[in-house]
Structure 1
Amino acid sequence: MVIFVLVFCIVTLILLVTWAKLNVFLTFLIISLMAALLLGMPLTHITQSVNKGIGDMLGSLVIIIVLGAMLGKLVGVSGAAQKIASSMRNAFGEKYITWAMCVTGFIVGISLFYNVGFFLLIPIIFSVANQYKLPLVYVGIPMLASLSVMHGFLPPHPSPMALLTQFHADIAKVFVYGIIVAVPAIVISGPLFARFLRNMPSNSIIAMSVQEIPAEKLPSLANSILSSLLPVIVIGLSIIITPYIGTHPRLKNIITFLGDPNIAMMETILIATYTLGIRMGMKLTEVMNVYADAVKEISMILLIIGSAGILKQIFLDSGASNQIATTLQGLNLPPLLLGWIIAAVLRLCLGSATVAGLTAAGIIYPLMQHIPVDPNLMVLSVGAGSLFCSHVNDTSFWVTKEYFGLSMKNTFLSWSLMETLVSTIGLVGVLILNTFIH
């Protein structure tokens, strides 16, 4: 009965999002309430589960996601992203231009969400393609691969952070493991895969209307990189320094506090407000407007993440989690592989990587209570599965098609295949890493 309710709820969720075009946040609320009623939860307990689910999920995520969005927006508006990209282009030259785009996407993608990164870096792709007379897709795919991997695998991006919270994983380990898995995924699906796209035709009209920021108005390369990567630097230094402090509890507490992800992001925002904002000639009110716009852009993402937490809480509080875990155990599949499969199937059906990952997490979480599995690797496995084969039900598919001026067939052969490679290689990397860790 429980499995039937689970399947029915997921199928209904898919139909409401894809066929009825219902808002994803509203869909999660409807499905969560429907699941609670079908599972026989007392009416007085349902509202408690709703409040706890959305509260627990967002409580530890709101600050870091919002501040991450603010930083990413400022990195783009200030021209820091453009400076990093143009410097990489000049350093690598034409022969290794795809590697330059790959490295640029990797660096900028640490702080920028995928959608933000795409629209901020697309002018660089156009300018490089025009300068060297190369196909847009050949130049762009390596950068998009990096942005996609960073968005799907690594904190502080919304989906990895939400998965990290659901699985009670360690942010430092997730980041380190994520880098290890991300590098081969980016290299293979980016520069190496791009070699097969060198002769792919494109006819983009949009490219003609995109303008770059004048070079003299860009921040320095050092300022751009340090401001963009400051959260990673602060958290990393905290992790490295802490073991060597010894018997200095007060100093250890201070360093641990400063290296907390939320505090590190707050420190970064304060510094970047000056280094990328005021120092570059922006008024404080202009910087604040940039931050306000950033929050507006991710408001729906936050609501979706919170509502996904409700569905998970309903399954836990109704007692269905134990029955789901027992059934999943009977499939005799490794938990990491099962998490990837569930996320991949949901990605194919729903289109949204974030929704696919969060829904898969709610399904796979009960199994983790009964079978030993590294929660840090599960974050990466589900994250990799949520990137599988973007197609016509994903807005990124159409954005890529239109901006690069590709036919439907070539969009599948470039963008969709690239996402499939990223997802599959990510799974292989997680499974290999699991054999060494255990």
Structure 2
Amino acid sequence: MTTQLLAAPLPHTSSDGVLLLAVLLGIGVIVLLITRFKLHPFLALILGSGVLAAVAGAPFDKLLASFSTGFGSTVASVGLLIGLGAMLGKLLADSGGADIVADTVLRRSSKRMLPWSMALIAAVLGLPLFFEVGVVLLIPIVILVARRGNVPLIRLGIPALAGLSVLHGLVPPHPGPLVAVDALKADLGVTLALGLLIAVPTLIVAGPLFARFAERWVGPLELPPAPPATEEKPERAPSFTAVLATILLPVVLMLGKALADVVIDDPKAMPQRIADFVGSPLIALLAATLLGMLTLGRAAGFTKARISTTMEKSLAPIAGIVFIVGAGGGFKQTLIDVGVGDAVSSWSAKWSISALLLGWLIAVLIRLATGSATVATITAAGIVAPLAADLSTTHAALLVLAIGAGSLFLSHVNDAGFWLVKEYFGMTVGQTLKSWSVMETLISVTAIALILPLSLII
């Protein structure tokens, strides 16, 4: 989850110890208000930000600007994607397109293999997609497959989320790995190859295998209600090819952007400028939504009026999600602006350990403190960049992966992605911690456990 940084951080005079206390109290207040007092997460995140700023010694007028900046930038990026994804998801559901995908997956996979199928689908879609885009495209299909196959939602949801998250943190062309590749002067092709090598076993462990435990820890989740039987049925169903083409359009556009960045590598060249524009997440998902109006809506016999009604109805249920995710971004921005990231950087400078483990640990600390995988990757890469000058090509690539693995560690209440997953799956904070947060930690630990021994043999 990316967030625009303020030009001027919040003024503070707190020591590193006071900052740590502020972080712990801020997070503790949020968890307590939600779990014990049943306060809405949007309000809890606002109050938690106030506690954080007060303990850290930041002026409250600056707190408002910091929280507003984080909220606004998160809603502007993630909120727009959620809105477009909701429109496309509603078109998929109402036109029968999601039914076709679900039936195809169920027909070609046994009940036992469904988690593995969802992990594979998520990994393929997640290669070029931003995590948030992948979530809004995949979750409606995951829910429908769970309902049709009579499979617990968490058993399919964890493999899908793991597929998206592993690719997001470890494999270019995602923004975090790309920034680290540039900062460490690593070879992109080697990083991509090693990233896929690490990603496959990591996905197996954190996806289908962990889903068995998460299912027991979380318990049964209530599936969103199916569309009412009295709802007007489509005259005909769109073809599987049309549905697949619509879903994969953002994938193709973003992958084209990534290839253009590698092959052309000239920001001023017109082909790359075009690829960068149409391959941005917002434009790619907008294009898929507009295409879906034809390939899903019109193909199902919908009138223009019904397509418009479908679009309108898709937005109401996601209002709460957008506000909660935005508030999560505001809390994260407050953490960054009171100087938590700088404090973590200063602590890390005092350590004397291997470059790979150091990069992972720095990314872990910044991830825990700020909630942002991208901020953790960028900061950690900048800190260990001098060490990369003496590394071989393969070890520089492994350092990129170590930092990416650390950036995924233990997503919790200061990560807007935590709230995105919680709301989409209808889980409590405790259930989200037991499933999503543990899954992210497992990805991080498994990846570094593979990277370190691999560094000894290549």
Give yes or no for TM over 0.5: yes
For 2:48, which of 12, 16, 31 is the aligned residue?
31
State the one-letter code of the partner of 2:442: T
User: 1:221-251: CA deviations, max 9, x gaps?
Assistant: 2122221121011111232245555888223
Work out which of the residue numbers 45, 50, 57 in structure 1 matches 2:74. 57
Partner residue in 2 for 1:253: 273
Q: Distance in 1 between matches of 2:370 and 2:339?
A: 22
Q: Which residue of 1 aligns with 2:160?
A: 147
1:262 counterpart residue number? 282
More divergent stretch after superposition (100-109 vs 52-61): 100-109
| Alignment pair present for 1:231 and 2:250 | yes
Task: Please name the residue that 1:122 is paired with.
Answer: 146
Report the 3-state secondary structure (helix = DSSP H, G, I; strand = E; otherwise coil) of the residue aligned with 1:60.
helix
- Structure 1 pair 277/186, CA: closer, same or farther in 2 (3 Å)? farther
Counterparts of 1:14 and 1:204, CA distance in 2: 21
Corresponding residue for residue 40 of structure 1: 57
Equivalent position of 1:306 in the other structure: 326
Query: For residue 240 of structure 1, what is the aligned residue in structure 2?
Result: 259
Amino acid at match of 1:229: L
- Change in Cα spacing, 1:363 to 1:150, as seen in structure 2 (3 Å) is closer
CA contact (8 A) 2:411 2:436 kept: no
Gap regions ≥5 residues in structure 2: 1-17, 127-133, 182-187, 389-398
Q: Give the percent of matched residue pairs that are identical in Structure 1 and Structure 2.
A: 22
Say if 2:67 and 2:334, in contact at 8 Å, map to a contact too.
yes
Q: Structure 2 CA distance, aligned partners of 1:305 and 1:121?
A: 26
Is the aligned partner of 1:385 residue 2:404?
no
Q: What are the within-5 Å matches in structure 2 for residues 79-90 of structure 1?
A: 79-90=96-107
2:23 aligns with 6
Instruction: Summarize deviations over 1:222-281 as a string: whole Å, max 9, x none.
Output: 122221121011111232245555888223322222222221111111111111111112
Query: Under a length normalisation based on structure 2, what TM-score does the superposition of the two structures give?
Result: 0.64
User: Residues of 1 paired with 2:320 and 2:292: CA distance?
Assistant: 25
How far apart in 1 are the matches of 2:401 and 2:211?
A: 30
Equivalences for residues 33-432 of structure 1 within 5 A: 33-92=50-109, 99-100=116-117, 102-103=119-120, 110=134, 112=136, 116-126=140-150, 136=151, 143-150=156-163, 152-153=165-166, 183-188=200-205, 217-241=236-260, 243-244=262-263, 249-327=269-347, 334-337=358-361, 340=364, 358=371, 370-372=383-385, 381-383=406-408, 385-386=410-411, 420=438, 423-429=441-447, 432=450
Distance 1:273 1:54 in 2: 30
Give the unaligned 5+ runs of structure 1. 127-135, 158-162, 347-355, 401-410
> Pairwise CA RMSD of aligned residues?
5.2
The Cα shift of 1:69 comes to 3.0
CA contact (8 A) 2:119 2:207 kept: yes
How far 1:311 moved relative to its partner?
3.0
Amino acid at match of 2:281: P
Taking structure 1 as the reference length, the TM-score comes to 0.66
Distance 1:428 1:90 in 2: 32
In 2, distance between residues paired with 1:106 and 1:215?
Answer: 31
**1:290-327 deviation line (CA, Å, top 9, x unaligned):** 33344333333332333233334334444454334334
Q: Which residue of 2 aligns with 1:406?
A: none
> What residue is the counterpart of 2:10 in the other structure?
none
Q: Is the 8 A contact 2:93 2:99 kept in 1?
A: yes
- Superposed CA offset, 1:347-390 (max 9, x none): xxxxxxxxx983788899876764559788656544453399x9
Aligned residues of 2:90 and 2:310 also touching (Cα < 8 A): yes
> Amino acid of the residue matched to residue 385 of structure 1?
L
Give the Cα separation in 2 of the matches to 1:261 and 1:239: 12
Distance in 2 (alpha carbons) for counterparts of 1:370 and 1:75? 45
Counterparts of 2:234 and 2:400, CA distance in 1: 45
1:147 and 1:196, CA in 2 relative to 1: closer, same or farther beyond 3 A? closer
With over 3 angstroms needed to count, the CA separation of the structure-2 counterparts of 1:289 and 1:183, relative to structure 1, is farther
Q: CA deviation at 1:88?
A: 3.2
Secondary structure of the corresponding residue to residue 74 of structure 2: helix
Q: Is the 8 A contact 2:122 2:164 kept in 1?
A: no
Secondary structure at the counterpart of residue 385 of structure 1: coil
- Asked if the contact 1:336/1:431 (under 8 Å) is kept, the reply is no
Corresponding letter in the other structure for 1:282 = F
Q: Which amino acid aligns with 1:307?
A: A
Hey, what does 1:132 align to over in structure 2?
A: none
Q: Distance in 2 between matches of 1:305 and 1:208?
A: 23
CA separation in 2, counterparts of 1:290 and 1:154? 32
1:270 partner amino acid: L
The farther-off stretch of 212-221 and 8-17 is: 212-221
Q: State how far apart, in whole Å, the 1-side matches of 2:364 and 2:297 are.
A: 41
